[in-house]
Amino acid sequence: MKKIGHGSYPLTRMRRNRTKLFSRELLKENRLSTHDIILPVFVTDGEKKTIPITTMPGVFVHSSDKILSTVERAVNLGIKSIALFPNIDNSLKDFEGSYATDENNLVCKTVKLIKDKFPDLGIICDVALDPYTTHGHDGIYSDGEILNDKTLEILCKQAVIQAHAGCDIVAPSDMMDGRILAIRKALESNGFHNTQIMSYAVKYSSSFYGPFRSAIGSLNNSKKIDKSTYQMDPSNIKEAVREVELDISEGADMILIKPGMPYLDVLSNINQNFDIPIFSYQVSGEYSMICGYIDNQKNNRSNIILESLICFKRAGATGILTYFALEIAEIIKSDNIG
Ligand code: PBG
């Protein structure tokens, strides 16, 4: 870009552009749209259940009959995609997470139910075993080790049955090695040429996932789960670049970086280095942290939520998963922004 020497004060007054509302609106570099927003939805077995998640005010686990009204609200607000996460009954969990590959499992049934009513809504499903295993890990666990290649075989089956049920985007979220290539091949050989893969290419071993783990019931008797042999160390960024490189070469259609706000430097770095759509996830711990702050700043709620999300666009995100999805969509709709 050509460098032009700007005049100094008073030739340049940075506040000139900020003086009037129309001008501030006109000069906004980034805007949020409901098209950028993905609503995470928690589903559980049974009927007529709406269970509040105590650490995430305003977020619920619904039985599939109840989910349709939440989904309908999202669609009416202009949200174009949702991400589905199951809370599996303990009686269906085992050491290998075998319910993950049952084509009549909760996720598959719910995808069909939602697609039947809202065929144009994009549905994203996690490909990982943690909701299905008794130990709460994302992969096959043996002698204190998470077995990479054995886990891959199961992930492939899980991805194929989800695609078969009507899921549009499979999202491997477990940070195993080689899973994008394996899943891509499995999808291709089963005729799912257009099923997209959103790779959680850069997922940190973060302490901000706590409320999510209780929401899906994967906390093992509140014993701390250490996922640091597969998820990334929060101090690393070069490793993130390698992860993204690999997942692109293995056939990912888009990548996700997670958590969100504490990792915007990673998002920005990846955005500058790669030509691929990048998503971010404002995760459960961030959500509950922001809700805590809002409790003390009630009359500024909309601006706090908006600021917590516009920063993702500024850093280069194509889209954002956020538990504020319905609320931000309402804020955008009412144009009550800025
Ligand atoms: C698990 C998964 C996790 C999240 C999404 N998928 C948790 C984990 O890795 O333990 C976290 C999302 C959140 O905290 O909101 N495959």
Q: What is the pLDDT of residues 307-337, one digit of tens each?
A: 999 999 999 999 999 999 999 999 999 875 5
Residue 259 preceded by cis peptide, ω within 30 = yes
Q: Whose CA is nearest to atom 11 of ligand 1?
A: 209
Least confident range of 61-75, 219-233, 240-254? 219-233
Mean pLDDT, residues 103-118: 98
Mean pLDDT, residues 273-277: 98
Q: Quick check: 73 and 325 in contact, CB under 8 A?
A: no
Nearest C-alpha neighbor of 180 from the set 237, 121, 256: 256
Structure tokens at 326: 């319905």
Structure tokens at 143: 């002698």
Q: Does this model's pTM top 0.85?
A: yes
Q: Respond yes or no: is residue 28 known to be catalytic.
A: no
Q: Quick check: 90 and 48 in contact, CB under 8 A?
A: no
Residue 10 preceded by cis peptide, ω within 30 = yes
> Whose structure tokens read 């996932």?
209
Q: Respond yes or no: is residue 49 known to be catalytic.
A: no
Q: Which residues contact 278 (CB under 8 A, 6 or more apart)?
A: 254, 255, 256, 257, 267, 270, 271, 316, 317, 318
pLDDT at 6 over 80: no
Q: Quick check: 170 and 159 in contact, CB under 8 A?
A: yes
Alpha-carbon distance of 331 to 338, in angstroms, equals: 10
174 ligand 1 Cβ < 6 A? yes
pLDDT confidence band for 185 (50 / 70 / 90): very high
Most informative mutation of 124, 129, 130, 220 for ligand 1 (most atoms within 8 A of CB): 130
The amino acid that residue 253 corresponds to is: D
For residue 174, the ligand 1 atom closest to its alpha carbon is: 16
